[in-house]
Amino acid sequence: MLLIGFLTIQIVGLRGGAVLGIDNQLIAVTEPNPGFLQMLAIAAVGSASIALLGPAVRNRPKGTRFVFRSGFIAATLIQIAVSAAITAQGSTVLNLNYPKPRWGEGWVIEGGMNSAVHLILIVAGYLLLSSRSVSEKAQTLRSGAGLDRE
């Protein structure tokens, strides 16, 4: 989700006519634009994340799915919490008179505040909870149909 933070910083810069480098510092000036490529990239990152959390792990063992999805949720929650803590301390990210924080700090802040990250977190939580209930229902159906007997 750091990548979404990085892309969000790029969009903010482009809207003001600034091209920012990987370190969030000004490297060029351009015509202000909405940053359509960056928005498309955010959508692609979100789609890829959901695909990795859903269909890509669907056929894995239940324990693997649980660890993968809960690990993703924990890492995303940590990013959101760190973003909120930094923002609450009055980080320069909210002050337009100062440049964006360099490197990872800016990516964590912007990614943690981005609604796309929050939506992916909700989908991950749903997948985590629904996969457990679906597997429990499947076990119940198998035992009711006598399929689990030897």
Q: Tell me the β-bridge partners of 19.
A: 28
Residue 106 confidence (pLDDT): 85
What pLDDT score was predicted for residue 91? Answer: 54
How confident is the model at residue 141, as a pLDDT? 63
Please tell me the predicted confidence (pLDDT) of residue 94: 47
pLDDT, residue 130, reads 87
Q: Using one digit for the tens of pLDDT, what is the confidence trace for 88-102? A: 876 555 455 556 677
Nearest to 117 by CA among 82, 67, 68, 66: 82
Under-50 pLDDT residues of the chain = 94, 150
Rounded Cα gap, residues 52 and 58, in angstroms: 9
**For the chain, domain boundaries:** 2-141
What are the strands, taking DSSP E only, across 50-137? none
pLDDT per position as a tens digit, 20-49: 999 888 999 999 999 999 999 999 999 999
